């Protein structure tokens, strides 16, 4: 709990803040809370104090606080002794923050690929069970784009991960959806470490066909077919590593 007599004043790098937008401010606040290992109930200051420390406009700070409240990172307490406090976070919120810190914590793209491979089966099952007409239209367009871009290994990889991310977004399982898309974001942010162009071309025809068959099964609503293609996909990707 917050103890007014033991609070350590947290200061921020004003040079970063001057040029930041609300999104960058969000990242900076989260990073400070994490690095300083601030406990729930720790008082960061009033809105005025934070605004002055960051050198940002009131609207910018208000937007950053709004986002961090929605994420369960901050509490805002009114009245005397009030201000901006580190919130008590649920295990799921902490998991989400850990996912955001993959790079800082030393996770490799190879490790992320291994976890994505395991989750692919559940993503495929959910996609086939819950796809909508809009999902069907967008998946059909994306698989056609993947076909056209396939000769270009770099572009094909980008399209590949866009497709995987889109499939995961169909799932009603918020935990699965969030974990999977965060991992894909991390992998696609460093494609040079994912699969080299040479490796991507290995079994190229099989690799493309398994994606086509997976999407077609999802469009049909064929869960068994989608699951089989996810398992086939896992076998192909493991052969590359």
Residue 42 phi, psi (nearest 5)? -70, 130
Express each pLDDT in 22-63 by its tens digit: 888 988 898 888 888 888 899 999 999 999 988 889 999 999
Per-residue model confidence (pLDDT) at position 83: 93
Per-residue model confidence (pLDDT) at position 109: 76
* Residues comprising the chain, all counted: 241
Q: Are 161 and 167 contacting, i.e. CB atoms less than 8 angstroms apart?
A: no
The percentage of residues in the chain with a pLDDT greater than 90, rounded to a whole number, is: 44
Residue 90 scores a pLDDT above 90 = no
Q: Are 171 and 134 contacting, i.e. CB atoms less than 8 angstroms apart?
A: no
Per-residue model confidence (pLDDT) at position 110: 81
Per-residue model confidence (pLDDT) at position 208: 93
Tokens of 225: 């077919």
DSSP for 163-219, written as a single string:
HHHHHHTT-S-HHHHHHHHHHHHHHHTTGGGT--HHHHHTTHHHHHHHHHHHHHHHH
Express each pLDDT in 204-214 by its tens digit: 788 899 999 99
Express each pLDDT in 140-158 by its tens digit: 999 999 999 998 888 898 9
Residues 142/143/145/150 CA torsion (nearest 10 deg): 140
Tokens of 142: 């994306």
């Amino acid at each position: 709990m917050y103890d007014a007599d033991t609070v350590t004043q947290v200061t921020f790098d004003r040079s970063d803040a001057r040029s930041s937008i609300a999104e960058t401010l969000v990242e900076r606040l989260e990073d400070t809370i994490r690095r300083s290992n601030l406990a729930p109930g720790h008082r960061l200051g009033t809105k005025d104090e934070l605004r002055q420390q960051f050198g940002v406009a009131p609207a910018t700070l208000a937007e950053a606080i709004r986002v961090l409240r929605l994420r369960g990172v901050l509490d805002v307490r009114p009245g005397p002794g009030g201000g901006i406090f580190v919130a008590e976070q649920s295990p799921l919120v902490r998991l989400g923050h850990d996912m955001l810190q993959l790079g800082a914590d030393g996770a490799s793209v190879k490790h992320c690929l291994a976890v994505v491979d395991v989750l692919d089966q559940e993503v495929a099952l959910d996609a086939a069970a819950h796809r909508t007409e809009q999902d069907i239209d967008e998946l059909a367009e994306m698989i056609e784009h993947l076909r056209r871009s396939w000769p270009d290994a770099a572009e094909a990889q980008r399209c590949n991960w866009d497709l995987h991310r889109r499939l995961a977004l169909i799932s009603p399982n918020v935990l699965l959806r969030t974990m999977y898309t965060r991992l894909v974001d991390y992998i696609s942010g460093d494609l040079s470490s994912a699969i080299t162009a040479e490796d991507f071309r290995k079994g190229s025809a099989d690799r493309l066909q398994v994606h086509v068959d997976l999407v077609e099964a999802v469009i049909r609503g064929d869960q068994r077919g989608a699951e089989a293609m996810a398992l086939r996909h896992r076998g192909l990707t493991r052969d590359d590593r």
